C-alpha cells in the first residue's frame, strides 16, 4: 500500500528554503519578464524562515550563531563563547525535532567560536539588503553561518564594485560582509532523459512556447478543504514557474513529455507572489514552482526519480526509490549535508549544502526575490530547472529517498533549490507529494 505525505502536515517551516530563478541559458528564460501582469500578487508573506528560527534561539542564548553538519557528520554549533551550554544544546535538539530531523539528534555537538551571534548578523543582513537589493546584478543576500558574516552574491564585476562601494560607505568591512562574484556558467546540452513513457522526477517536460525543463515532485491534489487525503483522480507534477509563459499570472498552457507532440497536462497553479516584502524587495515568493495537472491517461511514477546519465535516452532507465521516507518526513537539508539532484540535461549529480538561507533575485524580473534559498555544490545545467533534489536514506542503498526540494538555478558546481515545504506552501498547501 502506498503512503502519501502531505508536506504541510509534517514540516515546520524553519527548514523550508525557497528557491532561485532561472538559468540564462534555457529557452524558458527568454521572456520579457517586466511586461508580465502583477495581478496574481498578494500583500505579504506571513510565515517564517530559517532566519526567524535562529533569531529565536539567539534571543534565549545570546552567544548562538547558527549550526551545521561538518565533513565528519558532527553537528557544529557556532557560539561567541566557544562553548555549547546545556540550554543551547536543548534548543538545537528541539529545533531538530520540530523540523523532522531527529535522525541528527544522536550526533555529537562541537563548539565553534565566532565573533558575532545570530542577532548581530541579522542586524548587518537587514542593513546590507536595504542598501544593495535594488541593483539588478545582485544575485543573493543572506547569512553564512560558517564564515560568521553576511554573503552577497553578484553576477558581474560592475555589480561587485557597486556593492563594495555601498558597503564601504556604511563602514561595513570584510569581516562583516563578503561579496562574491558568481562565475559558474551554464553548459547547455541536449536532454539526457527525454523518451520516458511515464512521468518521474527529473525527466524532461516541454512547453512549445517556452522550452524544456524538468519534473520535480509527483503527487495528487487533496480531495477538498475538509478532506486532506489525496484525490487519486487528480494527479499533478511540479516544474519551475519560470518554465511557464508567466511567472505570476496563470495562463494554463499545455506541457508535453518528452515533447509537445505528447501532451501530458496543463499548468493549473503558479507560486503565489507577494508585494510587501520589505528590505528593498519589490516582490517575493517562497518558491519558483508551478503545478501541472496531469491528464488521467498518463501514468506517473510514484516516489521515483530518473537517474540515468547516458548520453542518449536509455530504453530501460533505472529509477531511484519507491517508498515514502520512514516517519513520513519530507524535509529540507541542513547546512553541510550531502544532497543529490536530477534533471533532464545533467542527469544525476551530488553536492554539499554550502548556503542554508539566502534570498535570491531573478535575473529576468529585477525586484523579484525568492526567500531563504539553499545552495549545494552539485552542478546544474540549462533545462534542469524544476528537477528533484533528494537525500538517499542510506548511502549505497538508495531505495527510500528523502525529498528535499526542487531546483531552479545553478551552474558548474552550483544548484539553488526550494525545499519541499516551501514548494507546497507556494502552491497552496493542498498537494500530496508521493514521496
What are the tens digits of pLDDT across the range 232-257?
A: 788 888 999 989 888 888 899 999 88
Residue 45 confidence (pLDDT): 57
Residue 331 confidence (pLDDT): 53
Per residue in 284-322, pLDDT tens? 888 999 999 998 877 665 445 654 433 333 333 333 332
**Residue percentage of the chain with pLDDT more than 70:** 73
Residue 64 confidence (pLDDT): 96
Residue 246 confidence (pLDDT): 82
335 in the same domain as 366: yes
225 in the same domain as 348: yes
**Residue percentage of the chain with pLDDT more than 90:** 36
Query: Which element (helix H / strand E) includes 139?
Result: strand 138-144
122 in the same domain as 106: no
Average pLDDT over residues 57-73: 93
Q: Please state which of the ranges 56-65, 124-133, 278-287 shows the lowest mean pLDDT.
A: 278-287
Decide which of 157, 181, 205 is a domain's last residue: 181
- Distance, CA of 252 to chain centre: 24
Residue 113 confidence (pLDDT): 97
Residue 232 confidence (pLDDT): 77
Residue 19 confidence (pLDDT): 29
13 in the same domain as 43: yes
Average pLDDT over residues 330-359: 86
Residue 230 has pLDDT above 70, yes or no: yes
Decide which of 113, 131, 148 is a domain's last residue: 113
Residue 220 confidence (pLDDT): 80
Residue 434 confidence (pLDDT): 60
Within-domain flag for 56 = no
How does DSSP assign 273-331, residue by residue? EES---TT-SEEES---EEEEEPTTS-EEEEEEE----SS--SS--EE--SPPTTS---
153 pLDDT band (50/70/90 cuts)? very high
C-alpha–C-alpha distance, residues 282 and 260, integer Å: 34
Residue 46 confidence (pLDDT): 54
Of 199, 213, 202, 257, which Cα lies nearest the Cα of 383?
213
373 in the same domain as 328: yes
CB 363 within 8 Å of CB 140: no
Range of the domain at 238: 5-48+190-433
73 in the same domain as 27: no
Residue 150 has pLDDT above 80, yes or no: yes
65 pLDDT band (50/70/90 cuts)? very high
Residue 36 confidence (pLDDT): 27
Model confidence, pTM: 0.78
Domain count, the chain: 3
201 in the same domain as 140: no
Within-domain flag for 206 = yes
270 in the same domain as 386: yes
Average pLDDT over residues 318-341: 55
The overall average pLDDT reported for the chain is: 76
198 pLDDT band (50/70/90 cuts)? low
365 in the same domain as 268: yes
172 pLDDT band (50/70/90 cuts)? very high
Residue 318: CATH number of its domain: 2.40.10.10
Residue 23 has pLDDT above 50, yes or no: no
Give SS3 for 70: coil
CB 58 within 8 Å of CB 116: no
Residue 128 phi, psi (nearest 5): -70, -45
Residue 360 has pLDDT above 80, yes or no: yes
Residue 304 confidence (pLDDT): 55
Residue 218 confidence (pLDDT): 81
pLDDT: is 319 or 71 the higher one?
71
Amino acid at each position: 500500500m502506498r503512503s502519501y505525505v502531505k508536506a504541510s502536515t509534517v514540516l515546520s517551516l524553519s527548514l523550508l528554503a525557497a528557491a532561485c530563478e532561472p538559468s540564462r541559458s534555457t529557452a524558458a528564460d527568454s521572456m520579457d519578464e517586466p511586461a508580465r501582469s502583477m495581478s496574481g500578487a498578494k500583500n505579504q508573506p506571513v510565515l517564517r524562515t530559517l532566519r526567524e528560527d535562529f533569531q529565536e534561539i539567539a534571543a534565549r542564548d545570546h552567544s548562538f550563531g547558527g549550526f551545521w553538519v561538518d565533513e565528519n557528520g558532527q553537528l557544529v554549533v557556532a557560539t561567541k563563547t566557544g562553548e555549547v551550554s546545556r540550554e543551547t544544546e536543548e534548543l538545537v535538539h528541539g529545533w531538530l525535532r520540530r523540523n523532522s530531523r531527529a535522525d541528527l539528534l544522536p550526533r555529537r555537538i562541537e563548539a565553534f567560536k565566532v565573533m558575532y551571534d545570530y542577532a548581530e548578523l541579522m542586524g548587518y543582513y537587514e542593513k546590507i539588503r536595504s542598501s544593495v537589493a535594488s541593483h539588478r546584478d545582485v544575485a543573493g543576500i543572506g547569512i553564512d553561518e560558517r564564515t560568521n558574516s553576511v554573503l552577497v552574491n553578484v553576477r558581474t564585476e560592475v555589480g561587485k564594485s557597486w556593492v563594495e562601494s555601498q558597503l564601504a560607505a556604511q563602514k561595513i568591512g570584510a569581516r562583516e560582509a563578503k561579496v562574491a562574484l558568481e562565475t559558474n556558467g551554464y553548459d547547455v546540452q541536449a536532454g539526457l532523459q527525454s523518451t520516458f513513457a511515464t512521468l518521474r522526477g527529473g525527466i524532461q517536460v516541454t512547453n512549445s512556447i517556452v522550452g524544456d525543463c524538468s519534473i520535480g515532485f509527483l503527487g495528487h491534489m487533496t480531495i477538498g478543504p475538509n478532506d486532506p487525503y489525496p484525490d487519486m483522480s487528480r494527479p499533478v507534477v511540479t516544474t519551475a514557474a519560470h518554465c511557464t509563459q508567466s511567472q505570476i499570472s496563470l495562463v494554463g498552457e499545455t506541457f508535453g513529455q518528452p515533447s509537445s507532440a505528447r501532451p501530458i497536462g496543463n499548468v493549473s497553479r503558479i507560486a503565489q507572489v507577494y508585494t510587501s516584502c520589505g528590505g528593498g524587495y519589490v516582490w517575493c515568493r517562497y518558491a519558483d514552482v508551478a503545478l501541472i495537472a496531469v491528464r488521467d491517461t498518463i501514468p506517473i511514477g510514484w516516489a521515483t526519480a530518473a537517474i540515468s546519465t547516458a548520453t542518449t535516452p536509455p530504453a530501460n532507465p533505472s529509477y531511484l526509490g519507491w517508498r515514502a521516507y520512514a516517519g513520513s518526513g519530507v524535509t529540507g537539508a541542513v547546512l553541510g549535508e550531502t544532497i543529490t539532484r536530477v534533471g533532464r540535461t545533467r542527469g544525476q549529480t551530488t553536492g554539499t549544502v554550502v548556503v542554508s538561507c539566502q534570498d535570491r533575485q531573478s535575473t529576468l524580473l529585477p525586484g523579484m526575490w525568492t526567500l531563504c534559498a539553499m545552495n549545494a555544490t552539485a552542478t546544474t545545467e540549462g533545462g534542469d530547472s524544476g528537477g528533484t533534489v533528494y537525500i538517499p536514506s542510506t548511502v549505497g542503498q538508495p531505495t527510500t529517498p528523502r525529498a528535499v526540494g526542487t531546483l531552479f538555478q545553478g551552474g558548474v558546481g552550483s544548484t539553488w533549490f526550494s525545499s519541499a515545504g516551501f514548494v507546497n506552501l507556494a502552491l497552496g498547501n493542498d498537494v500530496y507529494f508521493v514521496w
